Amino acid sequence: METKSENRSFGGTQGVYSHASEACGCDMTFALFLPEEARTAPVPLLWFLSGLTCTHENAMTKAGAQAWAADHGVALCFPDTSPRGDDVANDEAFDLGQGAGFYVNATQDPWAKHFKMWDYITEELPTLLERNFALDRERQAISGHSMGGHGALTIAMHLPDRFRSVSAFAPIANPTESDWGRKQFTAYLGDDTSTWALHDSTRLMEERGFDGPVLIDQGTDDQFLHLLKPEALAHAMTARRQDGAFRMQKGYDHSYFFISTFMEEHVAFHAEALYA
């Protein structure tokens, strides 16, 4: 693991690190904020998965999460959204290829060689963090935006024993019924739609739900509402009587201005679960 940078931030340290990923077959970069408490004892960890076109840097610099994480003594991990490199398959469209990993393990060529983001986020990167930083593996939570909200919700529902809480900002909520999903799942996973359902938060909410609190924020003026399909997830949460809240925020769009406005509440929501 190589340290790319470390900066003092709100009493803690905001670091950026790179490493050779076995899962993705390339070098991967991630950002990690450690609060001051990590100097003396392991601290809880909140994951934040970013959306289409983003890297580790977007949420790290725009979400304003470090201040609130420092207040609660919580670490923040901002992974990249996909494998990258000259030999990594890509597409001219912004919603496929590099920057658009969709948090799945691709099984189809040319993506299968590198696009193993599910294994990277759920197995390889957690192991690396546990070996190198003062983190409490028993206290984890997960959040994300857009494509990352999709990833956070699906990962949490598949791994309920790992995460105490899950939240999302404007998640891609029903990808099997959206062009932000059908296109990518066909490319990465093939035509067998039974494999798609495993990565659809609405379907997973209907079938299993999450054994913990859920918080969803969605802007009413989001320019991608027709692709996100929030009403499907809201209906599934209601039908299941899921412990949680689905909030429509009047006038907000899909940008980081929206995310940063409500980030304090999301970090507090997770901190309550992590310190329960």
Q: Where would I find the H helices in the chain?
A: 56-62, 65-72, 117-119, 125-132, 147-158, 179-189, 193-196, 201-207, 225-228, 230-240, 256-274
**In whole angstroms, what is the distance from residue 96 CA to residue 93 CA?**
6
**In whole angstroms, what is the distance from residue 163 CA to residue 273 CA?**
9
**Sequence letter at residue 30:** F
Annotated active-site residue in 50, 82, 143, 146? 146
Annotated active-site residue in 150, 199, 254, 266? 254
**In whole angstroms, what is the distance from residue 96 CA to residue 81 CA?**
11
Q: How many angstroms from the chain centroid is the CA of residue 247?
A: 19
| pLDDT score of 45 | 98
Give which of 72, 80, 125 is closest to 263, Cα–Cα: 72
Q: What is the pLDDT of residues 183-201, one digit of tens each?
A: 999 999 999 999 999 999 9
| pLDDT score of 255 | 98
CA angle 147, 152, 155 (to 5 degrees): 120
Residue pLDDT tens, the chain, 276 long? 999 999 999 999 999 999 999 999 999 999 999 999 999 999 999 999 999 999 999 999 999 999 999 999 999 999 999 999 999 999 999 999 999 999 999 999 999 999 999 999 999 999 999 999 999 999 999 999 999 999 999 999 999 999 999 999 999 999 999 999 999 999 999 999 999 999 999 999 999 999 999 999 999 999 999 999 999 999 999 999 999 999 999 999 999 999 999 999 999 999 999 998
Residues 6+ apart with CB under 8 A from 147: 49, 50, 51, 52, 81, 100, 102, 103, 172, 180
Dihedral sign computed on CA atoms, order 250, 253, 259, 260: negative
Q: How many angstroms from the chain centroid is the CA of residue 87?
A: 25
Annotated active-site residue in 80, 200, 217, 222? 222
DSSP result, 31-60:
EEEE-GGGGTS-EEEEEEE--TT--HHHHH
Tokens of 76: 């923040």
What is the CB neighbour count within 10 angstroms for residue 48? 30
Active site residue 254: yes
- Output the average pLDDT for the chain: 97
In 3-state terms, what secondary structure has residue 20? Answer: strand
Structural domains of the chain sorted by starting position, each given as residue range(s) with its CATH number in brackets: 2-275 (3.40.50.1820)
| pLDDT score of 156 | 98
| pLDDT score of 27 | 98
Active site residue 192: no
Q: What is the pTM of this model?
A: 0.97
